A and B are shown apart, each in its own frame.
Chain A
Amino acid sequence: MPPSATGASHLEAVASQARDDTLLPAVREALEGRPAAVESLILQIGPHLLRTVRQVLGARHPDVEDVAQDSLLAVLRSLPDFRGESTFLHFAHRIALLTALAWRRRQLTRDKHTAPAETDEWLDASVHSSPHVDLLSQLRQQVVRSLLDELQPGIAEAMALHFVLGFTVDEIAAISSIPSNTVWSRLRLGKATLRQRLRRSPRLAELLGGFE
């Protein structure tokens, strides 16, 4: 949907969400160095960060716990950089996403120099109604995740925030401090790259049902 259709009301809604952020008092207290506030923040954002890490790595990935911990630590270390342009939870989601994406890229580099990656055992457990549906779901996710590994960081971030985590364009613009039009451009570029990849593998494209 073009930005003109969403209008300024969405941007205003995002700004309003940021103003009414219920986590702000805890953030301020944490910045003053109060351990109880840090603990409270951890408890409140922890489940959300875990969700994000799972979405980027896969729910059964063995490194979910480590990456979730790194994300939490990165969020706490970035507290002074939080400017209140989005809600703190959105800010934390973005940090967790970037941490998980960086982890995936590091892992890829490591795998190039060491043994090839093991088969994704953690993807085995079926969560869908049938093995066929489960396989297609895993394929779709794998295609998008490997695409995120290859894309430029800015494009990968916009794609992941939109399609993996489900943020709207205005939310992404607020979280990443970039104009909405830039987000739209990045999404368009990301989708174009995905289409190119699928063109190289028609069988996969057929299996997945096509990405527009």
Chain B
Amino acid sequence: MTAKECPTDLLAKDRHAGLSPAEKRLLEEHLLRCKGCRTWQKLGRDFDIEAEVAAGDAELLTRISRRLPQRAQLARVPASASSPRVLGASFVTIRRTKRRRRALYVGFGLGLLATAAAAAVLGLRLKPQPPEVDPQWFRSAAAAEPREATGSLRATSPQDEPDVNAKDRSREEEPTPPSGKSGLARSASSEPAVAHERPTPSITPLELYRKANLARRAKQSGQAIALFTELQSRYPQSNEARLALVPFGNTLLEHGKAGAALTRFERYLRSGDSALAAEALYGRARALSVVGTKGDQSRGWQRLLDQYPNSPYASTAQRKLEALR
């Protein structure tokens, strides 16, 4: 049997529910006698399952789309550009501009380090008897660290995850960390094994967010939970803490703590932020599938479908609702 004789085109159309009743009958009859096409059909289903929406998709796409417009802005595409090549050329410009910026950041960072080192040496000479350092003061000073220092560090480490909220960072800093025990210490009861991995006092919300996500991706959910908890308790008002509620919920859900996950998703939804609302509703519905009644589950999926009918989660919500019926 040749490729042309097998109705592989019908198999392709079947994957997108595009078959007429006659075509469907034709395909079914062919499948009964063609082992090869049955395997191709299974394979098509395998690949469709691979492509299914996963937890964290909205977050992932938000991350990617936040990075791309920044590049577009760097290119300064003129609104009146008439040449169709302008946009393509702009991305070449972007890469060059980015390289220059990176070099500038590195230079600036090195300068800053040299200044800090000189200041430290001078400070030591002026004060041979160093006063006792108040840990509280140290934390405050570290949190109020100049923004450029973070920028220079980022620029020198190409392996870093790209910036999540670069434009918002200037207003996200928490100059005074909460007093008393650190958030990690407070969360130690739930995750004692990771309590020793306390982040350094100078860690910024962005760094905490990034570390937590890296731990989550590395499937170190215990460490990710501890870092997310730290972020929530040290910088409760930061954008990162708010955005982290969703990946935090997902991590808890994957860790089998559906109730705690549900709380995080609902807190995010109450925050009024809409950037990850679809993702939060998706996580909420999944958490309800574990801890909720059948009615709760239906309402959870229905809410997602009502509020985001065109989101990548809509098809999953539809399927779940049908299954619940």
Residues 134-170 of A at the B interface (beta carbon under 8 Å): 137, 140-141, 144, 162-170
Complex CA gap A162/B3 in Å reads 12
CB-based contact B51/A30 at 8 Å: no
Which residue on chain A has the smallest CB distance to residue B50?
A59
**Chain A positions within 8 Å of B81 at CB level:** 32-33
Interface of B is mostly: helix
Other-chain contact of B64, A46, A169, A191, A211 (Cβ < 8 Å): A46
Contact for B68 among A69, A140, A208, CB less than 8 A? A69
Assembly CA distance A34 to B82 (angstroms): 11
> In the bound complex, do residue B69 and residue A79 qualify as a contact, i.e. CB atoms below 8 Å apart?
no
Q: Which residues of B contact A184 (CB under 8 A)?
A: 3-4
Whether a CB of chain A sits under 8 angstroms from the CB of B36 is: yes
Q: A77-B88, A212-B35 are in contact. Are A168 and B9 (CB under 8 A)?
A: yes
- Pair B3/A191 contact, Cβ less than 8 Å: yes
- The answer to whether A73 and B68 have CB atoms under 8 Å apart is yes
In the bound complex, what is the Cα–Cα distance between A27 and B82 (angstroms)?
A: 13
Which residues of the other chain, B, contact A80 by a CB distance below 8 angstroms?
Answer: 84-88
Interface string of A72-94 (1 = CB under 8 A from B): 11001111110000000000000
A212 to chain B: which residues have CB within 8 Å?
1, 6, 34-37, 39-40
Q: Which of B3, B16, B91 meets A166, CB within 8 Å?
A: B16
Flag whether A68 is at the interface (Cβ < 8 A).
yes
Once A32-B79, A54-B51, A77-B87 are accepted as A-B contacts, the answer to whether A140 and B46 lie under 8 Å apart by CB is: yes
Within residues 1 to 30 of chain B, which ones have a CB less than 8 A from any CB in chain A?
1-10, 12-13, 15-16
Of B2, B16, B61, B85, the contact of A47 (CB 8 Å cutoff): B61
Instruction: Tell me, yes or no, whether A62 is within 8 Å of chain B by CB.
Output: yes
Chain B residues whose CB sits within 8 angstroms of the CB of A169 once the complex forms: 8-9, 12
- For residue A187, CB closer than 8 A to chain B, the reply is yes
Any A CB within 8 A of the CB of B96: no
Which of A62, A127, A144, A167 sits near B43, CB closer than 8 Å?
A: A144
CB-based contact A166/B87 at 8 Å: no
Closest to B85 in A: A80
Q: Which residue on B lies nearest to A162, using beta carbons?
A: B12
> A35-B73, A55-B50, A212-B6 known; 8 other A-B pairs, CB under 8 Å?
A1-B5, A1-B6, A31-B84, A33-B77, A39-B69, A46-B64, A58-B50, A187-B8
Question: What is the interface of chain A, defined by CB distance below 8 A to chain B?
Answer: 1-3, 6, 30-35, 38-39, 42-43, 46-47, 50-52, 54-55, 58-59, 62, 65, 68-69, 72-73, 76-81, 127-128, 137, 140-141, 144, 162-170, 184, 187-188, 191, 208-212
A-B pairs, top 7 by smallest CB distance, nearest first, are A212-B36, A33-B77, A188-B3, A166-B15, A51-B51, A80-B84, A47-B312
